[in-house]
Amino acid sequence: MKIVILGPVASGKTTLSKTLAERLQIPRYEIDEIVHNDETKEKRTKQEQQEILNKILKEKDEWIIEGMPRSHLEVLSISATLILYLDISKEECLKNLKKRRKKTKGEKEAPLEKMIGYIENEKKENLKKIMQKYSYKTIILKSRNDIKKFLIALEKGEEYKYR
């Protein structure tokens, strides 16, 4: 299975991707790891990003890639067998963001205003077009309850019935 998980900041993408990777026993990647070099703390060039992404797509039969929609969205959507979009409310994302910030106290994080901006500006036209174009393999999850139902359906082998 090749799964792309998209959604705004603090919507639960990482938690869901870790859960799925563990249950399905497949590797997971974060878009941020592709875009940014953690060692140098710099953004990779577009070419470097594309090379990393191509390597994953060519060398791995199964994968989970999660993150906020970026320029790689079309390539990922073509390659994916399943696209999960976490359409979690702004209020829930803010609540999750504040919880996360308490847990990571002392670690360098982007200013709260910037993170809130990512939540508010996440739904871009490109994302809407992609979701329409690939609607046959897209599942929109709007709440924690939807995510739980999806995981139960997946365990029963019924993930496509959930759509």
Give the chain's domains with CATH numbers: 2-155 (3.40.50.300)
pTM of the predicted structure, to 2 decimals: 0.85
Q: Average pLDDT by consecutive 10-residue portion of the chain (163 residues)? A: 91 95 95 89 91 94 89 88 91 84 59 60 69 91 92 81 52
What is the predicted pLDDT for the residue at 104?
56
Using the 8-state DSSP alphabet, how is residue 85 labeled? Answer: E
What is the predicted pLDDT for the residue at 157?
82
3-state SS of the chain: helix, strand, coil percent to 5? 55, 15, 30
